[in-house]
Amino acid sequence: MTARILVVDDVEANVRLLEAKLTIEYYDVMTCQDGATAVRLAAQEQPDIILLDVMMPGMDGFETCRQIKADTNTRHIPVVLVTALDGRDDKIRGLDAGADDFLTKPLDDVVLFARVRSLTRLKLVMDELREREESGRRLGVNADGAGRLRGSGGRVLIVDDNLRQAQRIADELTREHRPVIETDPKAALLASRGLIDLMIVNVAAESFDGLRLVAQARSAETSRHMPILAVVEPTDRPRLIKALELGVNDILMSPVDPEELAARARTQIRRKRYTDFLREKLDYSLEMAVTDALTGLHNRRYMTGQLQALVQRANHGGDPVAVLVMDIDHFKAVNDGFGHDAGDEVLQEFAVRLATNVRAVDLPCRFGGEEFVVVMPDTRIEDAHRIADRIRRDVSSVPFRVMGGKETLNITISVGVAVSLGQGDTPEALLKRADEGVYEAKATGRNRVIARAA
């Protein structure tokens, strides 16, 4: 798995060394030597990962990271701070600035490449979600909810058979989150199917295989996207590397530092909420792309695609498909006499009555304005006529309440019915025949159903 990596360091020798190591592993490497240039390149080139030195003149790595993470166009890019400083305060400061991880000089090649692979996988997911989000935005659909993207108030599952260590972690996290301790890996997997924002696993547990638990969590559909922090002994490099290969999102060295724990948990929960937010926006975008916002019925775009497939099937010997085209009589008078808000109430109530009078397999849609269509698979014209008349009677029999129930309106509809003719028929011709039935119904007095057999 390759990636485009931006290396930022004011020392030329350090830049060249990192560039050589990464290039040998077939990574595409860009370089620069100051923070301002790094911020500009991050926005212009959109690298997959940024390896950022902390100690630079002018704008240091902390401020550079902060600016990259503050920009909506670059905040999704993983940033790894590289420093000769191994102090606790520097790690906390870097994580609070938004850094995704720390590497300490001299760099361990195995840990470096494990980190890069792990962050590359994350970036691929983020890019796909952001691309889908942008597709939704181009459709004019945008689900608001950025206020939920904070890193506090998370539900944290701590899986550890070392109860003293687990309790210390829980006590620290209680200040911001809702931690739960679990010592049984099977119970932990069951719990992870719920609404968990973060799982912390002691991969060196004595009574269970922590690495196997990580692998099982990553393979399960319900917990695949859940962030996992692995607690590892600093001298246990093989287990650390294996945990990263299995897909843990971050590493906590034992004994766990309370401030580092808080910062890393906050970062992972914020990232999860961001990805969840993008997925929710995608689902919302897809729903809005096929749904009429006012009535909740499917829209014309969705209906057209479904009708095309059903007509093609009927043309090749499949079951016939019927359509009902219906128009609300004198709807302009409703808007003119009572206002567009009352007109919207009529449309919404009509959509409810329509949906409750068709079969589960039928497809009620708002075609546009006061015109509605029902696509009816496997339906002959006499059955379609019967259902259309049932809808007509339900609409006309009970007045519509508008303006908060202050006014009632007697509403009627004119309905045209048509059924597919077999080979050579088209969706456009089918709809036109039904539409002609609507015109005839209106011309002969309204509040009636006219079927067009051919």
Tokens of 163: 């109860």
Token pair of 389 as six digits: 């008349």
Q: Strand 400-402 and strand 155-159: pairing?
A: unpaired
Report helix, strand or coil for 441. Answer: helix
HSE-CB at 267 with a 13 A cutoff on CA atoms is: 28
Q: Give which of 413, 414, 411 is closest to 440, Cα–Cα.
A: 414
Q: What is the chain's percent helix, strand, coil content, to nearest 5?
A: 50, 20, 30
3-state secondary structure 202-255: ECCCCCCCHHHHHHHHHHCCCCCCCCEEEEECCCCHHHHHHHHHHCCCEEEECC
DSSP helix/strand/coil, 33: coil
DSSP secondary structure, 261-292, as one string? HHHHHHHHHHHHHHHHHHHHHHHHHHHHHHB-
Pairing of strands 250-253, 413-419: unpaired
Length of the chain: 454
From CA 29, how far away is CA 19, in angstroms rounded? 6
Q: Please name the amino acid found at residue 319.
A: D
Query: Which of 293, 295, 271 is CA-nearest to residue 284?
Result: 293
The answer to whether the Cα torsion of 31, 36, 41, 43 is positive or negative is: positive
Pairing of strands 413-419, 407-409: unpaired
List 370, 407, 436, 440, catalytic entry: 370
Residue 403 token pair: 């303006």
Cα–Cα distance between 49 and 239 in angstroms, integer? 24
Q: Is 349 a catalytic residue?
A: no
Say if CB 203 and CB 162 are below 8 A apart.
no
Structure tokens at 439: 């015109």
Handedness of CA 236, 239, 244, 245 (dihedral sign): positive
Dist. CA 96–CA 88, nearest whole Å: 12
Catalytic residues: 370
